[in-house]
């Protein structure tokens, strides 16, 4: 079964700390997505990766295809970064190329 595992499940940090959230997957992928969900439900896409590294403001996402692993880093964390971060993967060989498999999410709390 195609699987996506995230760690940690919960993370509490102090404002200003460097944060890392990890995602591992089981087989070859077409793309990996990092999503953010704030309280109240809305989910937004942060990054889509198929190789290498992407940066947007204080957020950095990396992927290692050989090791089947991705990380999401937040530099100089801020309380407004508090949210659930979700890793989602499009697996190669899916009958529908559009279907994603989701990790369970990481609840991040950044305290002032």
Partner 1 sequence: DVKVTQSSRYLVKRTGEKVFLECVQDMDHENMFWYRQDPGLGLRLIYFSYDVKMKEKGDIPEGYSVSREKKERFSLILESASTNQTSMYLCASSFWGRGYEQYFGPGTRLTVT
Range 40-79, binding partner 1 (CB under 8 A): 40-45, 48, 50
Among 12, 104, 109, 111, which residue sits at the site for partner 1 (rule: CB under 8 A)? 104
CA dihedral 64, 27, 49, 41 (to 10 degrees): -120
Longest Cα–Cα distance in the chain: 46
Q: How far is the CB of 28 from partner 1 (least distance, A)?
A: 14
Q: Is 102 in the site for partner 1 (CB under 8 A)?
A: yes
Tell the smallest beta-carbon distance from residue 43 to partner 1 (Å).
4
| CA separation for the pair 62, 68 (Å, rounded) | 11
Residue 72 CA to residue 100 CA, distance in Å, equals 18
- The residue ranges that bind partner 1 (CB under 8 A) are 30-31, 33, 40-45, 48, 50, 86, 88, 90, 95-100, 102-105
């Amino acid at each position: 079964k195609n699987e996506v595992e995230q760690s940690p499940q919960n993370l509490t940090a102090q404002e200003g700390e460097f944060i890392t959230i990890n995602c591992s997957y089981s087989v070859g992928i077409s793309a990996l997505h990092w999503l953010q969900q704030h309280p109240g439900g809305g989910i937004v896409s942060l990054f889509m990766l198929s190789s290498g590294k992407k940066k947007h403001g204080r957020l950095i996402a990396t992927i290692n295809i050989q090791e089947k692993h991705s990380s999401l880093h937040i530099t100089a964390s801020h309380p407004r970064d508090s949210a659930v971060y979700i890793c989602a993967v499009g697996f190669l060989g899916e009958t529908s190329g559009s279907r994603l498999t989701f990790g369970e999410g990481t609840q991040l709390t950044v305290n002032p």
